[in-house]
Amino acid sequence: MRLFFDPRQRAHAPAREFHNGGWTPYAEVPERVDAILAALGPVEAPADAGEAPILRVHDAGYIDFLKTAYDRWVAAGRAGDVIAYAWPVVRRRDVRLDRIDALAGRYTMDAVTPLTADTWTSAYWNAQTALAATGAVLAGGKAFALCRPPGHHAGADYAGGYCHLNTAAIAAQAARDAGCARVAILDIDYHHGNGTQDIFWDRGDVFYASLHADPATDFPFYWGHTDEVGEAAGEGTTLNLPLPQGTRLEGFRRAQGQALEAIARFAPDLLVVSFGADTWEGDPISKFALTTADYAVLARDIAACGWPVVTLMEGGYAVDALGANVASFLSGF
């Protein structure tokens, strides 16, 4: 198994996030990657494929915002990390505003994803890591991308849920551009991958299946319900399988089996797995009950389908358990 990671992915480190009525320490810390690296051993740095594959998925105005937001914030006389306080609810018309606070609301979906001076650097190399692992799998190998920050909450033109660039979408689009006619994404992070769903919502060439905590009880609330199935050419290529808090291996594995059956009918040339270890029983912000050993079982079920698989890291916030959980999952391949 080839492992990819770039040290610049560590740089992004907001001080705090705002939720449930108050400030708390930022959960998506750079120490997460240290824990995974310690468990997995040596990694390869990705080659630099440039911005073009990122711009195949993301809006140019949004990328400019990610690059310049921190400098605009400082120029406005602010201290600390960039965070919005006003959002254009249900996408009001596209007014061309220049004030950093207007831009921050326009290009983010929540108050848990502050931007720092290093956000663009980490996000850029994060995308390169995903692309390198995807290239390795398309060349016939097995690969894991140690993606951090995570990606699946980021849409074509918005950040959210600790995510800036949607690595799964960038990987899937790169595979399409490299000649794969059909790509499937299986998202087994605790949270619904609203960004990935939005990006491929009306496309029939990329299947998106997600297992996640019921959005009636968990972030991101407004996406991930069972009646969201895609539209136009994408009708039927989005599959949402929400699960109750407290879900254990049996329920999770049954739902994953349903997702794999649907993906098998789609017959992908490549499977991208958005893997979150925040489904673990001791995760500090999540409420499923998978054990470390369960991850190997789930990965074996995926591997048994026989498709080329590239696994990308998403969430997982119990830093001390993260290495063992990722190692267990990868052992299944």
Site for Zn ion in 188-247 (CB under 5 A): 189-191
Segment near Zn ion (CB under 5 A); pick from 20-28, 60-68, 91-99, 270-278: 270-278
DSSP symbols for 244-276: -TT--HHHHHHHHHHHHHHHHHH--SEEEEEE-
Instruction: Name the minimum Å distance from CB 222 to Zn ion.
Output: 16
Q: Of 152, 185, 119, 105, whose CA–CA distance to 313 is shortest?
A: 152
Report if residue 278 touches Zn ion, rule: CB under 5 A. Answer: yes
Segment near ligand Q9C (CB under 6 A); pick from 33-41, 46-54, 161-169, 322-330: 161-169
| Residues 6 or more apart whose Cβ sits within 8 Å of residue 240 | 192, 197, 210, 212, 224, 225, 226, 228, 229
Alpha helices in the chain (DSSP H): 31-40, 52-55, 60-75, 100-106, 119-138, 167-177, 194-200, 249-266, 292-303, 319-331
Site for Zn ion in 155-184 (CB under 5 A): none
Choose the one of Zn ion, ligand Q9C, none that binds residue 112, judging by a C-beta under 5 to 8 angstroms depending on kind: ligand Q9C
- Give the residue, chosen from 6, 214, 278, 283, that forms a contact with ligand Q9C under the rule CB under 6 A: 278
Interface mask toward ligand Q9C for 83-122; x: CB under 6 A: -----------------------------x----------
How far apart, in whole angstroms, are the C-alpha atoms of residue 88 and residue 93?
Answer: 9
| Residues 6 or more apart whose Cβ sits within 8 Å of residue 251 | 243, 244
Choose the one of ligand Q9C, Zn ion, none that binds residue 82, judging by a C-beta under 5 to 8 angstroms depending on kind: none
For ligand Q9C, the closer of residues 266 and 329 by Cβ is: 329
Q: Which residues bind ligand Q9C (CB under 6 A)?
A: 19, 112, 150, 153, 161-163, 189, 191, 219, 276, 278, 285, 314-315
